[in-house]
Structure 1
Amino acid sequence: MSATPFVIERVYSASPDHVWKAITDKNRMKEWYFDLSEFKPEVGFEFSFEAGPEDKKYVHLCKISEAIPGKKLTYSWKYQGYPGDSKVIFELFSEGNAGTKIRLTHEGIETFPNDDPAFARENFQAGWTELIGTQLKNFLEKKEI
């Protein structure tokens, strides 16, 4: 079991403010991330959502532990009914005229059940690569936000 966090970085041609709004405004998030009933980028705010294949949805339980507007958002990431506790960290860096670099780090993936293929590191890698590498990029580049 690897304790190495999963990290993905991308640069978007959007300002840090626009990227921040995309990762913290529930109406924008539903277009590229998950459809959350409520979301507030405030320490202590808890949110949950269902995701997974049609035949087996997993309830994700999250609690914000750090929120620095335009710079950093951190929250816990657990699954209802399963052991394990991880942390998701979004960090934003201004790249001047090039836009904004986002670094997503998911720590603690190895704490989830290793006998359940749904929690395989490769699934997290594929999911975040799709969300950060494709969905968020497409959202930011198609919209004036």
Structure 2
Amino acid sequence: MDILDEIARARRELSGDRRKHLVLSRRYDAEIEDVWQACTDAERLARWFLPVSGDLKVGGKYQLEGNAGGEILQCEPPELLRVTWLFGADPGFSEVEVRLSADGDGTLLELSHTADVPEEMWSQFGPGATGVGWDLALLGLGVHLSGSAPIDENTFHETEEGRAFITASSRAWGEAHQAAGGAPDEVAAAVARTTAFYAPE
């Protein structure tokens, strides 16, 4: 797997004013049922993303280990999963939606994250704050679906390959930010801060 090619395989879009809407989509060389199971089966999810606990059905609550939790709002196998995506007792609006569709002998995955983002966080990091994290997650999914050994999330950012991926992801989200109207100097500063956060020297 060419790690940097994974960046080019994805399409990134940004819209919204106070409520930000990020979209990340890419194709996987796997059948839709396989991709769906990888995204919704707790045992498989733990292999490429994070361990998950809770009442994993519509209306139930879930919690990703050391990360977000929330409520399962919609689940329509093998095409649609929609959940709230909150950290701690954060009462703000944040939802993630994953849509799958068959694409020839593969699957198109579209991940949308819509959230109210504090202005101070947005001005500091822009869409890369969450966008790079989602790029890393979908890279992990691609590695998992290919049958390769999983990425070590604790050390990936320290490797040459990992740093190259994070830098490219941060720049790609900067391009999406600028395409959505972000000022070039502000976008460049946010890209630099995001890259330093995910891959510190």
Q: Of residues 114, 137, 141 in structure 2, which corresponds to 1:136?
A: 141
Q: Deviations over 1:45-78 (max 9, x none)?
A: 1111343xxxxxxx52211111000100000111
Percent identity reads 27
1:27 aligns to 2:35 (yes or no): no
Q: Of residues 79, 82, 89 in structure 2, which corresponds to 1:74?
A: 82
Q: Deviations over 1:68-110 (max 9, x none)?
A: 001000001112133412110000010122x0000000011xx
CA distance in 2 between partners of 1:9 and 1:141 (Å): 18
Where 1:70 maps in the other structure, the secondary structure is coil
* 1:7 CA drift (Å): 0.6
Runs of at least 5 residues in structure 1 that lack an aligned partner in the other structure: 52-58
Change (3 A) 1:142 1:15: same
TM-score, with structure 2 as normaliser:
0.59
Q: Which has the higher contact order (CA 8 A, sep 6+)?
A: 1
Residue equivalent to 2:95: 87
Residue equivalent to 1:54: none
CA distance in 1 between partners of 2:51 and 2:100 (Å): 22
Report if aligned partners of 2:18, 2:117 keep a CA contact under 8 Å in 1.
no
CA distance in 2 between partners of 1:113 and 1:3 (Å): 9
CA distance in 1 between partners of 2:125 and 2:41 (Å): 27
Count how many residue pairs are aligned between Structure 1 and Structure 2: 131
Change (3 A) 1:39 1:103: farther
Change (3 A) 1:39 1:138: farther
Report if aligned partners of 1:66, 1:74 keep a CA contact under 8 Å in 2.
yes
When Rg is computed on C-alpha atoms for both structures, the one with the higher figure is: 2
TM-score, with structure 1 as normaliser:
0.80
Residue equivalent to 2:62: 47
Runs of at least 5 residues in structure 2 that lack an aligned partner in the other structure: 1-16, 149-201
Residue equivalent to 1:14: 30
Report if aligned partners of 2:20, 2:117 keep a CA contact under 8 Å in 1.
no
Quote the RMSD (CA, aligned, Å): 2.2
CA distance in 2 between partners of 1:39 and 1:81 (Å): 18
CA distance in 1 between partners of 2:146 and 2:112 (Å): 22
